[in-house]
A and B are shown apart, each in its own frame.
Chain A
Amino acid sequence: MYLNNKMLFSIHILADEEFDELCFEFGLELDEITSEKEILIREQGGEKAEGASDVVLYKIDVPANRYDLLCLEGLVRGLQVFKEKLEAPRYKRVSPADGGEPQRLVITEETASVRPHAVAAVLRNITFTQERYESFIELQEKLHQNICRKRTLVAIGTHDLDTISGPFTYTAKPPGEIRFKPLSQSREYTAAELMSLYKTDSHLRHYLHIIENEPLYPIIYDSNGIVLSMPPIINGDHSKISLNTKNIFIECTATDLTKAKITLDMVVTMFSVYCDEPFTVEEAEVVYPDGRLSVYPELAYRTETLSGDFINKRVGINESAESIAQLLTRMCLRSEVSGEGDLIQVEIPPTRADVIHACDIMEDAAIAYGFNNIVRSTPRTYTVANQLPVNKLTELLRQDLTAAGFTEALTFALCSEEDIADKLRKNITETRAVHISNPKTADFQVARTSLLPGLLKTIAANRKMPLPLKLFEISDVVLKDETKDVGARNNRRLCAVYYNKSPGFEVIHGLLDRVMQLLDVKPGRNQGYHIQASYLKIYFNDSTFFPGRCAEIFSCGKSIGHLGVLHPDVISRFELTMPCSAIDIDIEPFL
């Protein structure tokens, strides 16, 4: 969102640095200082930018939960209140001024299966300018992306009320039975036709999936059968708003009623400022299939009572209740001391749906006080540190492996199925691998079940280094394990490879001897460690190794891994050319 100098002036800010500070203090991101011209040059090239405005623009990013700051109107209002240049407005729901019946939206039961909720409101006697109109459209788009979760939860439709007549009906129909002229099109289409038309629309195609496979599509008609909108896809052309629109009918259809109410409140609180009677919103009635009637927008003000002591203790400051009430008022939370002790009455306006707990109020007090004005103090919490045993062992072994001449590699825990199966001459079903359902590339299909592929890829990437290459990694692999709540567990493994003109089995064997010496396990069959031939037919694991050049490692009678010369096919599948030997052991038995 871009602010200009005029808006900065309205919050009494003159210097860029001062504005930068304000953004930091308030929790906004001042992305860059630019101009319309610069933006055009960057996005469309120099030619298009000719004659564009040089007026300085400030690009602002807003935190994800502050819907009230999503448009310029709200942001400037918020900053003006924060700087105490403006008192937060009170938003009011009113009955139709002519004393007539409120607009009514009737929901039919067919909507239940696809998009069961709807809310509505009217903005009367609004005055648009080009800027205001653009901001109005932009806010709807931002809400759609943000709280409406790309229109899945809520979709907003705004209509020129003077082109339609209520009561309105929100229903759902088979796509073949829906026919209307949509926004920006010159003729009528059936809903089925529209869905295929919008398949190629760069913007709308992202929303088609929401209703595409539903037997009934949501649709809103006026009393004359004119289509207002087919939520959450497109509005009708008939009721489209323009710069000259005076009265706006706003409907939000939803799968989440709470979010629909918030969305409606946001649209009307932000733009009622341009109504003849600012900050008033005309009510609309929504009738549910069961006959229940609700009046919207809710524009609910809620009062929370908390003590100054609570704020002081949680933030770590020592302010009077009055001063805390003043801090909160600057955050659009109108507050006053109630007179009983240090209790503060805090009024949460409909624009601050993000305030759901006293801790949210506490945060606002802290922001208004200034995070960086809070005295930093050390907690007195006394504790004794403990290392996680498996990490402690890992740290010790890593040091010793480098001293033994091996260099540490750091490789990804995710890889392709091929890396842990085909390339190691194993069948994927034997690996006990955890599979990822939605990887963007084949590099992340599974969690690794062995450290070996990562090390071999590291060697392949360093083929130009002088031989021999001696690498190791001590890290976790992931294996399916039914006994765990999530059905999988990590396993800490030590893997090392030796890559040279000769296989160097004795080097890798020597490394095993050294590791066992460090772990204080002596060579021997029973209480010690030994290696023994591992035969292809008995142990499927051996397929990674060259026949007759693989041994299984036993420590205290328990198999802990393998060592051997890699199978030539494994070597070439990792695009290597030299003989290579490797060791792969589980270190968890040594904890």
Chain B
Amino acid sequence: VSPSERKASPKVDGGTDSQDVAADLGVDHQVIVGAVKSLQALGEVISAEQKSSRHWELTGEGREIAEQGSHEARVFNAIPDEGLPQNQLMKMPSGKVGFSKAMSNKWIRLDKAHEGGPRVFKTVEAIEDTVRDKLQLVQKGQSAKLEDKEKNELKKRKLLSEVTVKSYWITKGSSFSTTITKQETELTPEMIASGSWKEKKFKPYNFEAMGVAPDCGHLHPLMKVRTQFRQIFLEMGFTEMPTNNFIESSFWNFDSLFQPQQHPARDQHDTFFISDPALAHEFPQDYLERVKKVHSEGGYGSQGYKYDWKIEEAQKNLLRTHTTAVSARMLYKLAQQEKFTPVKYFSIDRVFRNETLDATHLAEFHQIEGVVADYGLTLGNLMGILHQFFTKLGITKLRFKPAYNPYTEPSMEVFSYHEGLKKWVEVGNSGVFRPEMLLPMGLPEGVSVIAWGLSLERYVDTHT
């Protein structure tokens, strides 16, 4: 037991205040506080309840005055009966303050006309230094004897200050003892080797504290969800499309999808166009002719859009506005195979829209896309596969709303019931690719292609 710990042990059964202990023992209160804390760490030796109290304390200047007298008293005492030249008095440490105070107390007077310069004389025989007396009372812990007004006056003169003191109310604990054993903080290799751990007591751990963060990096949260979606597609047998081409031609991004050249999405306001390299220079020529024809004249059972289709418009390079541009390339490639084989494709990658960045708009985001091409696929199949896909995300309540999209018909918005928001929220878009898109590619007539897409960012916003 260290001396301070012993001192902190309650002397009486009823308990005691740590402040009183410090006063009784004549040591600093902080020493007692430290002792209380180390006794607490030993378990139930003592119990200590924290409390706070306010009390008056002398400032540095206050202590000086309590010892040496007030400035005005010191000035008074320095003046001999024959007086003192004012300039000499002013050189005293208490000179300036003491002079004006002593003057206003009418203890001294100033003879300005004195030969040899202004001179200060006592006006009374003796004085009573009340300031010092009051401060000494506070020093003895008897501040209660002073009136509030007096204390505030001294506070204003910066001789007193009111402080809040945190102290402990100490009582005996359930395993109170006057002897204590030093506790070990940690188990050491030496203790294990010597077996000394058997005799030692160990400090309890603080289980309330947080642990130390492990020394590792983290994946980006959005990319973790991307991995999750990727995994779902792979589990469902979908092959990943090569979407590592942010720059796309208008031809693959729009024309091949039967999106007319005057469509608002092709406006400068919505799409980032490229100034360098401004134009794409290579297209499958006969396919391009078929695309031109289906837009301007129709065919494949379609009326077409009946407008003047321009190659210049199709050549314009842009930052792809959707990964469906890649789906179009993949389906075209599929159509060039000797014999059609069913495919399931997916991609999750960046797409771009000409937006000004704010809290609800991003100029780039990740589009998740799934595509299935096979003979005889139905709208019911699209809904069935969407149901399986979303079930893997834990979303089981789906419903479908008719929508419009230039390259799918039918088009369906996918809504899921959000258990948190208690309402139906849109989770994606889906549809069956139009024959005007598929047939010019050379896909067989009976082949249907169903597809759906959603935004990774939007999904994370509403569902995580």
Contact = CB atoms under 8 A, between A and B. Distances in A.
Nearest to A375: B380
B364 A485 contact: no
Contacts of B119: none
B380 A403 contact: no
B381 A316 contact: yes
Nearest to A258: B306
A391 B231 CA distance: 12
Contacts of A437: 272-275, 278
Nearest to B343: A383
Given A356-B304, A374-B383, A447 B342 contact: no
Given A371-B401, A408-B223, A444-B272, A486 B245 contact: yes
A256 B262 contact: yes
A377 interface: yes
A443 interface: yes
B246 A405 contact: no
Interface string B386-420: 01100000000001111110100111100000000
B280 interface: yes
Contacts of A438: 268, 272-273, 354
B240 interface: yes
Nearest to A27: B402
B277 A434 contact: yes
A399 B355 CA distance: 33
Contacts, number: 254
Given A371-B379, A439-B272, A413 B350 contact: yes
Give the 10 A-B CB pairs with smallest separation, nearest first.
Answer: A316-B380, A27-B402, A316-B378, A487-B277, A437-B275, A363-B410, A63-B404, A485-B282, A402-B217, A356-B303
20 contacts: A24-B399, A65-B404, A152-B262, A357-B302, A359-B434, A371-B401, A377-B378, A377-B380, A379-B450, A381-B377, A383-B237, A391-B230, A408-B218, A410-B222, A436-B273, A440-B354, A485-B281, A487-B317, A489-B247, A490-B245
A26 B404 CA distance: 12
A386 B239 contact: yes
Contacts of B249: 485-486
A412 B277 contact: no
Nearest to A395: B227
A316 B215 CA distance: 55
Contacts of B241: 388
Interface string B217-232: 1111011000100100
A440 B355 contact: yes
A152 B230 CA distance: 43
Contacts of A412: 363-364
A405 B235 CA distance: 30
A408 B220 contact: yes
A406 B219 CA distance: 9
Nearest to A483: B282
B99 interface: no
A395 B222 CA distance: 14
Given A363-B410, A405-B216, 13 more contacts: A27-B401, A316-B379, A357-B300, A357-B303, A359-B435, A371-B402, A410-B223, A414-B272, A436-B319, A438-B272, A444-B363, A486-B247, A486-B248
Contact of A378 (B379, B388, B403, B432): B388
A510 B313 CA distance: 50
Interface in A395-424: 395, 398-399, 401-410, 412-414
Nearest to B320: A486
Contacts of B233: 385
Given A63-B403, A315-B379, A376-B380, A487 B217 contact: no
A531 B234 CA distance: 38
Nearest to B222: A410
A357 B281 contact: no
A395 B227 CA distance: 8
A436 B275 contact: yes
B299 to A, nearest CB: 10
A480 interface: yes
Contacts of B3: none
Contact of A488 (B264, B277, B342, B385): B277
A399, A403, A440 pick with most chain B CB within 10 angstroms: A440
B415 to A, nearest CB: 8
B246 A413 contact: yes
Interface string B311-341: 0000001010000000000000000000000
A194 interface: no
B202 interface: no
B140 to A, nearest CB: 50
A390 interface: yes
B326 to A, nearest CB: 11
B53 interface: no
Nearest to B308: A256
Interface in B49-94: none
Given A316-B380, A362-B410, A403 B216 contact: yes
Contacts of A314: 378-379, 432, 448
Interface of B: 215-220, 222-223, 227, 230, 233-249, 262, 264, 268, 272-283, 298, 300-307, 317, 319, 342-344, 350, 352, 354-357, 363-364, 372, 374, 376-381, 383-385, 387-388, 399-404, 406, 409-412, 432, 434-436, 448, 450
A366 interface: yes
Contact of B410 (A366, A387, A391, A490): A366
Contacts of A359: 409-410, 432, 434-435
A384 interface: yes
Given A384-B237, A490-B245, A379 B381 contact: yes
Nearest to A374: B380
Interface string A467-489: 00010100010101000111111
Contacts of B282: 485
A359 B363 CA distance: 33
A16 interface: no
A402 B379 CA distance: 43
A277 to B, nearest CB: 30
B235 to A, nearest CB: 8
Contacts of B273: 436-438
A478 B247 contact: yes
A480 B274 CA distance: 11
B246 A478 contact: yes
B22 to A, nearest CB: 39
A241 interface: no
Nearest to A372: B399
A82 B349 CA distance: 40
Nearest to B350: A413
A406 B281 CA distance: 42
A478 B308 CA distance: 33
Contacts of B448: 314
Contacts of A27: 401-404
Nearest to B278: A437
A444 B281 CA distance: 24
Given A317-B380, A379-B385, A476-B244, A414 B352 contact: yes
B436 A377 contact: no
A426 interface: no
A130 interface: no
B276 A403 contact: no
A439 B239 contact: no
A302 to B, nearest CB: 8
B302 A356 contact: yes
Contacts of B237: 382-385
B319 A390 contact: no
A357 B223 contact: no
A4 B116 CA distance: 106
Contact of A485 (B276, B283, B432): B283
B342 A381 contact: yes
A490 B246 contact: yes
A73 B206 CA distance: 74
Contacts of B303: 356-357
B434 to A, nearest CB: 6
Given A381-B372, A407-B218, A487 B355 contact: no
